[in-house]
Structure 1
Amino acid sequence: MSNNNASRESEISLAELRGDCARMAPHWVAPAKSAPAPVAPSLIHGVTVPPASARLIDAMSDYGD
C-alpha cells in the first residue's frame, strides 16, 4: 500500500464507509440458516448454574411458569 492510499483510508468518513457497504451488500451471499440439531439432556455434562441464577430464572414468568 502506498503512503497516499494509507492517508486516504484514514480520511474515509463513516458515511462513506456505510455507502460503500450498502453498494456491496447485494453482492454478498449469506448461507442458508440451519437450525441447530437438538441435543438430548442426557448428553449435556459439566453445565453448572449458580443457585442465584437458577432462582432468578425460576422467578421469571416466561421460564418459571
Structure 2
Amino acid sequence: MTNLKVPTSAPADLEGDLASLRGDCARMAPHWTAQERIVSRPVSPSLIHGVRVPASSARMLEAMPEYGN
C-alpha cells in the first residue's frame, strides 16, 4: 500500500495575496543568512576589457524606451 500524502512546507494557496506572501517570507527569513559586508575597491578602467554584449540583447535594450531613447 502506498501513502499518497506528501508533506510539504509550501502553502497550498499558490494564488495568495500580498499579505500571504509577506507571511511566507517572514517564516523563511530565519533560514536565510546574510553575507558579511564585502567592501570592494574601485577598478581601474584600463583593467576593464573584453565586455561583449550579444546583438540580440543590445536590440532588446534599444527597443526599451527608458534605455534606448
Give the TM-score, by structure 2 length: 0.39
* Structure with higher helix content: 1
Give the TM-score, by structure 1 length: 0.41
Larger Rg: 1
